[in-house]
Structure 1
Amino acid sequence: MSYRLIQMLTVVLPTILIGGFEFFRHGFLLGHLSMETGNVLITILTFILSLLFSSWIFHIIKIKNDQLAEEQAKRAVYEERERLARELHDGIAQSLFFLNVKLKQGDLAAASSAVSTIDHHVRQAIFNLRSAPEEDGSLNSRVTKWISEWSSFTGIDVEMDFQTQNDLFTVKEEVQIFAIIQEAFANIRKHSGSTQAQIDFKGTQDQWQLRIWDNGRGIDIHSLSERKYGISMMRERARQVNAEFQIHKGVLGGTEIILTKEMQK
């Protein structure tokens, strides 16, 4: 049922039913019903019709909203997969170009490094796309499952304290936050040289904070290449969920990423 039809029914149906009853009462029941009794009956009838009609309309609206939310969830997943596909394509294309140049120059060491880079891009993309987001449950279960597989894949121990409240994030926000987590842990595997990592989440309806830490060599903020480490991507995703993004050396060494957001009241 379209919204236009619902709008027409909302205006026309109560008018016809209540107006029709009043017309019938004044035309045929005046000799059998007093004015007071008629007023009581029309009040009761209006209440019953309003209750039934509003319940029906809100049921239809709920169905429409559920369908819309499902479509938005699928679209968010498709957009994320398209982004990953573009990154994979661009990364491999650049590496292949570099590989071709180095092979022509006879620089086998650099060519071997390019092959390793291509292998990394492919493995990372396959790992990130292994489980379809729409098939998993909540963000908690999806992150827990992914981190467990990542830890087994890399051999790096991860300490987790990640529990979010239900309905704290929209579907699009979950996609962005999950992508930030994936990129952060990809950087840990590639650049940190760490043996241990942590991820914890603390949140209420008023504010939340996501923290990721590793015990590796620590990032050099002064010589930081945002493009190399995917920092610009994480900053952009943080901006899309209106969260503050911070990255710095941890107090106990390593690198610490903090994502913080205060909800608008």
Structure 2
Amino acid sequence: MVATRILPTVAGWAAGIAVTAAILGTPYLLFAYHDPQLHLVLDSADTGVALLVAFLIWGRYRRSGRLQDLLLAGGLLLLAVGGIGMALGLHLLGLEDGRADVWLPVAIRVVGALMVLTASVVGVRRVPDGWARVLTALPWATVALGLLLTYLLRGSLPVPLAATPPVSAEHPVITGHPALLVAHGLTAVCFAVASVLFACKAAQRSRGQDELLRWLGPAFGLAAFARLNYLLFPSLYSDWLYTGDLLRTGSYAVLLVGAAREISRYWSAQARAAVLEDRRRLARELHDGVVQELAYIRVETHTAVGDPEDRERMVAACDRALDEARAAIDALGRSTDEPLGFVLHRAARQVADRYNASLEVELDDSVHADDEQRHALVRITREAVSNAIRHGRTERVRLRLERDQHRRRLLVLDEGQGFDPATVKRNTTGYGLTSMEERASALRGSVNIDSVPGRGTTVAVTW
């Protein structure tokens, strides 16, 4: 299970290593092409995806208040603004001179990478009081300060790239200002460490708990190798298309997949919550209406009917109706996230308390069942416990839930009067044995009833 959660990150790193190794080890592989149009298209697509994912994670922060979400949203916002946004801002300020339009985006991306790295470290802790507004304003303050410093230092900024890219590229050319190379290297390290940490955190979460987190590892792994490729051939800010551009777009494509799955999971959760609330409303209506009326009928029948046999039959009918109503309330009003053992314990306890019988339980919480199986097991449990008390005349019932190798087993045991199963099966109206067998069959399992007159009964359901 853990290997499955980190598999996307392993695949992302494998892709990045393969591309980089091909560039370094194959002299005939061209990794730079002069294509301004495609370069602009990829930049625009990457910026759009980064903004979308940043907005999604900002929404998560508004609901959760987690520091990780706030830092991650801010980091992705800076990575998005460092692309087309900075080009537009510098164009409006008239600072497109081959210097400012390189240094400002790379500086903003370094800050964004540091925020992503910090987000991978802090985990799920909540934003400390007083820091929420500061961290929210940090990306915007970074952009504003960068624009201001760029404008003030526009005449003294060093030349970032000393050479124009060749017509074709067959070997890496590590050239450019040392600060530019350091910035690419630092960004690559930040993304690489963040990728590993996000993958570790995804492995610690249960499946489906945080769908987006599972895709942050491979996305930032690809982003790290994209920056490494820019370090090998640092001409990101030209009209050329590089393998680094393709790896960067691949990282944003993975982020887009994670965002889509996160949105799907969110709306599925909203739909389940709406259904659960409606089920609880119906359960309240049943409890306040049908159950109360049946309880009243039972009490009146017990006192008003003169013939003991008639009274016993009518009280038994009321008990069955109450069992049906309470089973419906449990099915409608309870969350499917409750452990199976807890659900069965509650169902058995309700029946035992009604007849003032004691209940002993031995439940393995590692045993699970899906929704349909839960319903069938609850009905079997209620029927078996009711039969043990009402017909077996026992004052103590034992309930066990256990795992036997690859099978799961539910046991209801009593030391009551017992009965002859062969005789009872010929009487289709007795004890509800047929109903229990049909429900066990629906579980893709079986029910075995072991009983001897005077020696108690054991009902074993295996599935």
Q: Normalised by the size of structure 2, how large is the TM-score?
A: 0.39
Change (3 A) 1:69 1:257: farther
Query: Contact 1:188 / 1:214 at 8 angstroms: preserved in 2?
Result: yes
| Amino acid of the structure 2 residue aligned with 1:246 | N
Q: Map of 1:1-265 to 2, 5 A cutoff?
A: 23-25=37-39, 36=169, 38-67=241-270, 108=307, 110-125=309-324, 128=327, 132-134=333-335, 137-165=338-366, 168-203=368-403, 206-224=406-424, 225-249=427-451, 253-261=455-463
Structure 1 residues without counterparts, runs of 5 or longer = 1-20, 93-98
**How far apart in 2 are the matches of 1:170 and 1:43?**
43
Change (3 A) 1:74 1:170: farther
SS in 1 for 2:418: coil
Change (3 A) 1:35 1:226: farther
Query: Contact 1:74 / 1:134 at 8 angstroms: preserved in 2?
Result: no
SS in 1 for 2:422: coil
Change (3 A) 1:118 1:194: same
> 1:217, CA displacement in angstroms?
1.0
Q: Normalised by the size of structure 1, how large is the TM-score?
A: 0.64
> 1:233, CA displacement in angstroms?
1.4
Range 245-254 or range 156-165, more displaced: 245-254
SS in 2 for 1:160: strand
**How far apart in 2 are the matches of 1:33 and 1:59?**
43
Structure 2 residues without counterparts, runs of 5 or longer = 1-34, 42-163, 170-232, 234-240, 295-300
> 1:216, CA displacement in angstroms?
0.8
SS in 1 for 2:369: coil
Which structure shows the higher strand fraction?
1
> 1:45, CA displacement in angstroms?
2.4
Query: Contact 1:165 / 1:204 at 8 angstroms: preserved in 2?
Result: no
- Could you say which structure has the larger radius of gyration? 2
> 1:39, CA displacement in angstroms?
2.9
> 1:214, CA displacement in angstroms?
0.7
Change (3 A) 1:129 1:35: same
Q: What's the Cα RMSD here? A: 4.1
Change (3 A) 1:230 1:74: farther
**How far apart in 1 are the matches of 2:277 and 2:454?**
41
Change (3 A) 1:55 1:109: closer
Counting matched residue pairs gives 218
Range 124-133 or range 198-207, more displaced: 124-133
**How far apart in 1 are the matches of 2:40 and 2:446?**
67
Change (3 A) 1:46 1:113: same
Change (3 A) 1:74 1:34: farther
**How far apart in 2 are the matches of 1:53 and 1:26?**
19
| Amino acid of the structure 1 residue aligned with 2:437 | R
> 1:241, CA displacement in angstroms?
1.5
**How far apart in 2 are the matches of 1:119 and 1:153?**
13
SS in 2 for 1:176: helix
SS in 2 for 1:60: helix
**How far apart in 1 are the matches of 2:40 and 2:263?**
35
| Amino acid of the structure 1 residue aligned with 2:343 | R
